[in-house]
């Protein structure tokens, strides 16, 4: 009887960990990516790429913490592994919380200023991102390709794609796939508010 209970400990532990991951803010954002695949593919792609960037950054911080704590050397290993995993989870959740807060701020802004002005804000942001990317590429054109200009160009492209998608979806009633901005906004705010308190 005692042996059966001991064997069940790892299974229950993994189930608890899996449940915590699914119910986390990062897990909610992952589910959001899959739910947006059909309704707004471009938003799903952008959010998915952003989550991949979060994982990359959190993994880099985890490896740095692991090396700083002694890495694979004994007995530092006993402290380095759990501490590095803890750093990874904390970084992922902090970034997920920041993403959810940014989404809520964007939705609040859209609710306050309306769809036309919000579309103009997106267009201006895309133009500014394009100008910054052009300046970075122009200043580094004689040097080998670097991560900074490439990232700036990627952000500018994503901002432009988002602005075009918004204009097509919410500002052109005759366009195919036109949706009600107010209805989507209210639904998204309600969903994110529930995720903030229940994730």
Condensed to tens digits (0 to 9), the pLDDT of residues 136-150 reads 777 765 555 556 677
CA dihedral 149, 150, 156, 162 (to 10 degrees): -160
**Other residues' Cβ atoms within 10 Å of the Cβ of residue 131:** 12
CA distance 122 to 115: 10
CB 141 within 8 A of CB 105: no
CA distance 125 to 114: 16
pTM of the entire predicted model = 0.77
Residue-wise pLDDT tens digits, 16-45: 656 666 678 888 888 888 888 877 788 888
Using CA atoms, how far residue 120 sits from 58, 163, 177, in Å, is 34, 8, 20
- The helix/strand/coil state of 136 is helix
Q: Among the listed ranges 33-37, 60-64, 77-81, 139-143, which one has the minimum average pLDDT value?
A: 139-143
Domain segments of the chain as ranges:
39-198
Provide the 8-state DSSP code for 175. S
């Amino acid at each position: 009887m005692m042996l059966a209970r001991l064997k069940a400990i790892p299974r229950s532990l993994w189930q608890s960990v899996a449940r915590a991951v699914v119910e986390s803010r990062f897990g909610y954002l992952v589910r959001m990516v899959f739910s947006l695949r059909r309704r707004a593919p471009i938003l799903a792609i952008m959010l998915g790429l952003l989550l991949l960037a979060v994982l990359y950054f959190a993994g880099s911080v985890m490896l740095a913490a692991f090396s700083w704590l002694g890495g694979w050397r004994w007995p530092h290993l006993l402290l380095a592994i759990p501490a590095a995993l803890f750093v990874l989870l904390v970084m992922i959740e902090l970034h997920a919380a920041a993403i959810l807060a940014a989404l809520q701020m964007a939705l609040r802004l859209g609710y306050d200023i309306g769809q036309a002005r919000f579309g103009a804000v997106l267009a201006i942001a895309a133009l500014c991102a394009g100008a910054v990317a052009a300046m970075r590429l122009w200043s580094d054109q004689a040097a080998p390709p670097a991560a900074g200009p490439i990232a700036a160009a990627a952000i500018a492209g994503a901002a432009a794609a988002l602005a075009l998608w918004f204009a097509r979806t919410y500002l052109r009633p005759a366009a195919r796939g036109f949706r009600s901005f107010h209805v989507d906004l209210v639904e998204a705010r309600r969903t994110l508010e529930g995720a903030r308190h229940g994730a």
